[in-house]
Amino acid sequence: MTDIPVIRLRPKSKPQAIRHGFPWVFADEAVLDRRTRNLLAGGFALLEDPERRPMALVTVNPNSKIVARVMDADPQAVIDTEWLKVRLARALAMRQRLYGAPFYRLIHAEADGLPGLVIDRFGETAVMQPNAAWADVMAEQIADALVQVTGVSRVILNGQGRARGLEGLDERMEVLRGSAPDQPVPVQMNGATYLADVMGGQKTGLFFDQRPNHAFTQQLVKDARVLDVFSHVGGFGLAALAAGAKAATCVDGSAPALELAKGGAQAMGMADRLDLVQSDAFKAMERMAEEGQQFDVVICDPPAFAPSKPALEAGLRAYERVAKLAAPLVAPGGYLVLCSCSHAADLTQFRNVSARGIGRGGRRPVLIHTGQAGPDHPTLPQLAETGYLKALFFRLDG
């Protein structure tokens, strides 16, 4: 790579963090003069420490608070299709060792060495979310590498979501390889059948991250009445039916998501044991409590109420309210599962507000298990944001 621009850390920055694996350089840590501010978003640069010593090859985005992301510890690296294929092949080898079927998160951004890029695989279909400028610029090359490494026949670019806005990227949805599917993609997971709307659903169409928490829940649901609140396409509810639950009720505000849950239950031959409630989740829980309804297992898997630090206080209050409303719906000796996918709320904070909410709901909790995302969502130890998912399993005795 010749004539590559240089971006330099400020004297008071902490270059040792980069050397020890931290993958980001924030705008206030770099020398941002007129030259660096005019660098092409998504381009590449040589990162130097304050003494002008080369540190890494980075991708830059002057429009983002994260002005640089480490691409390769080798300053001489060349980011091209062959480089992408090496990273993809490494990620694929781990997933193939973990899973017997090609349904998983293939690339989990920084933790898989491809910063800001998410790729979920649904058999012959791959859905990519380029949430960093470099991945948006190189989308075609990523698609080429994906096809060559994995053999998928369809690559969809889902360029939507909050993360792209933070990078200054426009929303877009494109089919890069193959043709758009004419129906949802069936996914087998934990014995259940899910339908993924890879063109119009949330994120990439299905959440693979809850797979181990679905599996743990399945140990609790034999002959049980199950309530799945914020159910999306029936994640916990369908897993419960597959494990022998007597009945499952899915509550969600999205009619299309509930239709996909219904389709999954039909594919499993269990539609008669599934009840669908389209409603605001908070109002539905309030109404169920007023009616005296109770369930053996209640799961609440809401959207990210605290996606950023400024939203943390309000988000924690929302999680506490979920716990307060859900607790009375659990039958004596039953189980309550509370989940958070908020980056800003750490495990201790989420556990504390959940316990307080349960107490305010008039119940006494015992924590029996703490879950996280599956191994296809690896965590970069230096970057807490990659370990975002938390699932708390409580038994409610009182």
Collapse the DSSP code of 149 into the 3-class scheme (helix H, G, I; strand E, B; otherwise coil) and give the result.
Answer: helix
| Cβ-based burial of 356 (10 A; exposed 0-12, middle 13-18, buried ≥19) | middle
Residue 393: how many other CB atoms lie within 10 Å: 23
Annotation marks residue 341 as catalytic: yes
User: Tokens representing 118?
Assistant: 């998410």
Catalytic residue among 250, 300, 339, 341: 341
As a whole number of angstroms, the distance between CA 319 and CA 314 comes to 9
Q: What is the DSSP string of 156-216?
A: EEEE-SHHHHHTTPPPEEEEEES---SSPEEEEETTEEEEE-TTTSSTTSS--TTHHHHHH
3-state helix, strand, coil split of the chain in percent (to 5) is 35, 30, 35
370-373's contacts with Cβ under 8 Å and 24+ in sequence apart are 371/212, 371/213, 371/216, 372/212, 373/209, 373/210, 373/212
CA distances for 167 relative to 66, 134, 163, 201, angstroms: 8, 10, 7, 22
Collapse the DSSP code of 223 into the 3-class scheme (helix H, G, I; strand E, B; otherwise coil) and give the result.
Answer: coil
As a whole number of angstroms, the distance between CA 347 and CA 325 comes to 20
CB 324 within 8 A of CB 360: yes
Q: Which residues are catalytic?
A: 341
